[in-house]
Amino acid sequence: MNGVTQLHRPRRVAVLSVHTSPLEQPGTGDAGGLNVYVSQTTRRLAAHGVAVEVFTRATSSDLPPVAELAPGVLVRHVTAGPYEPLTRAELPGQLCAFTAGVLRAEARQEPGHYDLVHSHYWLSGQVGWLARDRWGVPLVHTAHTLAKVKNAALAEGDTPEPRVRVIGEQQVVDEADQLIANTAVEAGQLTDLYGADPDKVRTIAPGVDLDCFRPGDRAADRAALGLPAGALVLAFVGRVQPLKAPDVLLRAAAELLARGVVARSELRVLFVGGPSGTGLEQPAALQELAVALGVTDVVRFLPPQVGPDLARVYRAADVVAVPSHNESFGLVALEAQACGTPVVAAAVGGLPVAVADGRSGVLVRGHATADWADALGVLAREPRRRAALGEGAVRHARSFSWDRTTDALLAAYADAARALRRSLPRVEVAV
């Protein structure tokens, strides 16, 4: 267990995920990679004997106060504001109510109920900062995305992250005992943009569920989805919002048709997911763009998929596109590769780690339609190249796993506990 002793392994961890629950379906609203991360790591922490309680905001009066995610993992629904989804701009106004709910839950337990707090996203970090001080336990924080990074790479028409978030993130970075970065790039952003203490930053890559996402029978998966066996299938999976740039794939597909790279009867483009973030302001924008480009006959829109159904989509595709303007890592890219499907991704954020350029997929610099059409066109014309990248994709994905991620988290928890003990004043006993 990476040298983690029972002495420093926590007995019970309070995981904070204010704005989205691990019980929610990823792919729409605020549910995405963070949900997957929390769900996968908490299950494995529990398997290692660490009890986990996840605190999230209740978005319906029908939700029970406490639900079981998995044996050893409880999800506590905290009442904070109205029983309805709130935008991230509205959520800071509910942090006081949410914090009160977390502290009250702990107050009903014996002293020392939680050994550590792990917060996800800056809103949770604000709550974790107070809980850490109140309970006298370490605070480990995972940002997942950073406002300063997002604002430096905004999609056209997207809304900048507000100043309140930038300030809030800075406060959490200053206060956390350990900061978990997904990649070395993110670790550098924490130190360079937020002045984080390098000794408090630990790089731990997310994982992929290799039992669920694995190679299979592409022909059978296509038949199940009603896709032509011999078609060139391009897929986008994720929340439909400017940040994720699904329009880049749509425009590139139209360009492939215009260039005559692929016949219209032989092309299918799948978009799997629902509107999110600023995409909620124009939920039909992608469909309208398909009409404007004249490609509605080759495009299919599917709702978010789970587990085996999502794996089927990945395996049915010849290429999965991840054209995001910013990604702290890119779990979709990893899941697709685990299924044996090469990925064409933007060379941003953590995607150069998630995708091995030239071995498991192709990285594209920028978001110009011509560049994306070039990259996709090469793979469209060279099935042997696609097959070689698909084999490399499986090998690359197997170097990541949620078990490895969780082991590294346990080591980070132990370091945070040791650091806290060293910082406590020593009490001299008179004799």
pLDDT tier for residue 117 given thresholds of 50, 70 and 90: very high
Q: Report the alpha-carbon distance of residue 18 to residue 269 in Å, rounded.
A: 35
The response to whether 25 counts as a known ligand-binding position is yes
Q: What are phi and psi of 119, to 5 degrees?
A: -105, 145
Q: Within a 10 A sphere around the Cβ of 104, how many other Cβ atoms?
A: 10
Task: Return all residues near 276 (Cβ < 8 A) that are at least 6 apart.
Answer: 28, 29, 30, 32, 239, 240, 241
- Whether 26 has a binding-site annotation, put simply, is yes
Q: How many angstroms separate the CA atoms of 400 and 413, rounded? A: 20
Is the torsion defined by CA of 153, 157, 160, 161 positive or negative?
Answer: negative
30 is in an annotated binding site: yes
**Residue 31 in marked binding region:** yes
Say how far apart CA 59 and CA 77 lie, in whole Å.
Answer: 8
Q: Take residue 137 and report the two structure tokens written for it.
A: 């336990």
- Quote the CA–CA distance of 323 and 86 in Å, as a whole number: 27
Q: Within 10 A of 192 (CB to CB), how many other CB atoms are there?
A: 10
Q: Decide: 16 and 118 in contact? Cβ < 8 Å.
A: yes
Q: Is 86 annotated as contributing to ligand binding? A: no
| Side-chain-side CA neighbours of residue 314 (13 Å) | 32
**Cα torsion 268, 269, 273, 279: sign:** negative
- Flag whether 335 is marked binding: yes
Structural domains of the chain ordered from first start: 12-207+402-423 (3.40.50.2000), 218-398 (3.40.50.2000)
2 has pLDDT over 50: no
For 139-148, 150-159, 247-256, which range has the lowest pLDDT when averaged over its residues?
A: 150-159
Starting at the earlier edge strand, list the strands of the sheet with 201-203. 66-70, 73-78, 51-57, 12-16, 116-120, 139-142, 178-181, 201-203
**DSSP class of 111:** T
Contact 284, 314 (CB under 8 A): no
Lookup: tokens for 27 = 């792919």
Q: Write the pLDDT tens digit of every residue in 32-79.
A: 789 999 999 999 999 999 999 999 999 999 999 999 999 999 999 999
Q: Is 32 annotated as a binding residue?
A: yes
DSSP code for 326: -
Residue 26 CA from chain centroid, whole number: 9
The pLDDT tens digits of the residues spanning 288-340 come to 999 999 999 999 999 989 889 999 999 999 999 999 998 988 999 999 999 99
As a whole number of angstroms, the distance between CA 14 and CA 381 comes to: 51
Closest CA to 17 of 98, 112, 113, 109: 98
What kind and span of H or E run contains 422? helix 402-423
Q: Has residue 169 got a pLDDT over 90?
A: yes
**Which region among 20-24, 161-165, 182-186, 249-253 has the lowest average model confidence (pLDDT)?**
20-24
121 has binding-site annotation: yes
227-277 confidence digits (pLDDT tens): 999 999 999 999 888 889 999 999 999 999 999 999 999 999 999 988 755
59-85 b/e with 16+ CB inside 10 Å = b? beeebeeeeebeebbbbbbbbbbeeee
Rounded Cα distance between 404 and 413, Å, is: 14
Indicate the DSSP class of residue 78. E
- Residue 409: pLDDT over 90: yes
341 annotated as ligand-binding:
yes
Cβ-Cβ contacts under 8 Å for 96 (sequence gap 6 or more): none
* Residue among 234, 308, 224 at smallest CA distance from 269: 234
Is 72 marked within a binding site? no
410, 313, 405: which is closest to 39 by C-alpha?
405
Q: Which residue has the tokens 């569920």?
A: 209
Residue 279 confidence class, pLDDT cut points 50, 70, 90: very low
Query: Cα–Cα distance between 252 and 134 in angstroms, integer?
Result: 53
Angle, helix 184-194 to helix 163-175, in steps of 10 degrees: 100
Tell whether residue 88 is among the known ligand binding residues. Answer: yes
- 305 labelled ligand-binding: yes
CA distance 16 to 165: 17
How much of the chain, in percent, has pLDDT values that exceed 70? 93
Q: Using CA atoms, how far apart are residues 357 and 244, in angstroms rounded to an integer?
A: 20
What torsion do the CA atoms of 120, 275, 331, 326 make, to the nearest 10 degrees? -80
Is 151 annotated as contributing to ligand binding? no
Q: Is 244 a known ligand-binding residue?
A: yes
Is position 79 annotated in a ligand binding site? Answer: no
The CA distance from 206 to 55, in Å, is 21
Residue 345 is encoded by which pair of tokens? 């991704």
Virtual torsion, Cα 383, 384, 386, 392, nearest 10 deg: 170
